[in-house]
């Protein structure tokens, strides 16, 4: 029974034409986002900003779930409805980021391991009571000529699997997020190679730790040339390399792959997802769980001012709609202009 519920939640999160909003920026990360628009990051501003996104009329047609941060899952709309309850009533599944961030990995220069396993069983039980139905844990890896090390890859894979097993025991769907950062000058082939090693380790550990992959989602990076590379791959090459990597390393039992945007522009993130879905069907749903690529235009339009809330909601709604189109391979860049004109 518990298993079936996990499977159903995982499938609902990748329902046709819908994806996930990552609104789980930690206090430090949301401060950086607010700094970029010259807005002070206070608890109530963060609440108001998230409320503006969550209450966007009609966005539930394109958004299946929202990932919240610890502070946010305890907050409410201004009329007093707790955010998880508000979202659930709109048909949007509430989720929660449960890792405690990437910390320096001992005896490994410039590499990180994600922490947060201590006390996780108890925290998951509390989040479940607060209304969460799925969770997220992000591991990060940098690409250089020598990194990531096997040590970093396996330490993070082990932690991701421990997290995933605890989530399933608690009745929450784990989103497993191994993010190979795409900063640097690497080629797309190098990104393919590193992402392949990372995914291979992640699925080895998930199986070893008895995780039922039917009740999970994968949140990977797309396979890209480094952001500072001189000759960067185009969307069709990105789609080819990313799909090749996923076909080799992600079991077909996984119901969905929900990409992170990872610093791509909002329109690139949409176009790249679209390119992969024009080659559907695939064994898994290919969807999105974007943070910046869904929020950036809304954040700019808002600028911290209440009177801009409607314009910001329109900007967020538009990005959600474009990405929903990319779920079926029916996105075209001209749709960006039509919507602006409308
Ligand atoms: P970005 O889409 O901004 O990379 O954020 C997704 C996310 O949740 C990172 O953990």
Give residue-wise pLDDT tens across range 2-54. 558 999 999 999 999 999 999 999 999 999 999 999 999 999 999 999 999 99
Q: Give strand ranges (E) for the chain.
A: 19-22, 63-68, 93-97, 102-104, 112-114, 134-141, 173-180, 217-218, 256-259, 285-290
pLDDT, position 337: 84
Residues 6+ apart with CB under 8 A from 126: none
CA of 1 to the centre of ligand 1 (A): 31
pTM check: above 0.85 = yes
CA dist 195 and 198 (Å) reads: 5
Q: What is the per-residue pLDDT across 251-298, written as a single tens digit (0 to 9) for each?
A: 999 999 999 999 999 999 999 999 999 999 999 999 999 999 999 999
Distance 291 CA to ligand 1 centre (A): 4
pLDDT at 195: 98
Residue 1 has pLDDT above 50, yes or no: no
Span 79-111, pLDDT tens digits = 999 999 999 999 999 999 999 999 999 999 999
Question: Average pLDDT of the chain?
Answer: 97
Question: Six-digit token pair at 152?
Answer: 């970093």
Substitution candidate for ligand 1 out of 135, 136, 260 with most atoms within 8 A of CB? 260
Q: Which residues contact 279 (CB under 8 A, 6 or more apart)?
A: 239, 243, 329
pLDDT score, position 338: 76
């Amino acid at each position: 029974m518990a298993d079936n519920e996990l499977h159903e939640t995982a499938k609902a999160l990748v329902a046709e034409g819908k994806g996930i909003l990552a609104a789980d920026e930690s206090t430090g990360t949301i401060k950086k986002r607010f700094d970029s628009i010259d807005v002070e990051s206070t608890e109530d501003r963060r609440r108001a900003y998230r409320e503006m996104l969550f209450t966007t009329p009609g966005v539930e047609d394109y958004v299946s779930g929202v990932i919240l941060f610890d502070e946010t899952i305890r907050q409410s709309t201004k009329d007093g409805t707790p955010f998880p309850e508000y979202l659930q009533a709109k048909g949007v599944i509430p989720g929660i980021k449960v890792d405690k961030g990437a910390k320096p990995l001992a005896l490994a220069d410039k590499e990180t391991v994600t922490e947060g396993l201590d006390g996780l069983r108890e925290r998951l039980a509390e989040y479940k009571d607060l209304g969460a139905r799925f969770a997220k844990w992000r591991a990060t890896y940098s690409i250089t000529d020598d990194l990531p090390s096997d040590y970093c890859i396996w330490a993070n894979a082990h932690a991701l699997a421990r997290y995933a097993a605890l989530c399933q025991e608690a009745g929450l769907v784990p989103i497993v997020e191994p993010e190979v950062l795409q900063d640097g000058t690497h080629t797309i082939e190098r990104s393919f190679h590193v992402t392949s090693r990372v995914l291979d380790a992640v699925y080895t550990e998930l199986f070893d730790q008895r995780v039922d992959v039917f009740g999970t989602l994968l949140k990977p990076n797309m396979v890209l040339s480094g952001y500072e590379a001189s000759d960067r791959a185009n969307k069709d090459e990105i789609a080819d390399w990313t799909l090749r990597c996923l076909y080799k390393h992600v079991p077909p039992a996984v119901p969905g792959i929900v990409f992170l945007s990872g610093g791509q522009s909002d329109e690139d993130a949409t176009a790249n997802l679209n390119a992969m879905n024009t080659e559907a069907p695939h064994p898994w749903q290919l969807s999105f769980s974007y943070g910046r690529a869904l929020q950036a235009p809304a954040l700019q339009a808002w600028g911290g001012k209440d009177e801009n809330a409607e314009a910001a909601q329109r900007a967020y709604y538009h990005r959600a709609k474009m990405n929903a189109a990319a779920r079926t391979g029916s996105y075209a860049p001209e749709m960006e202009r039509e919507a602006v004109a409308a």
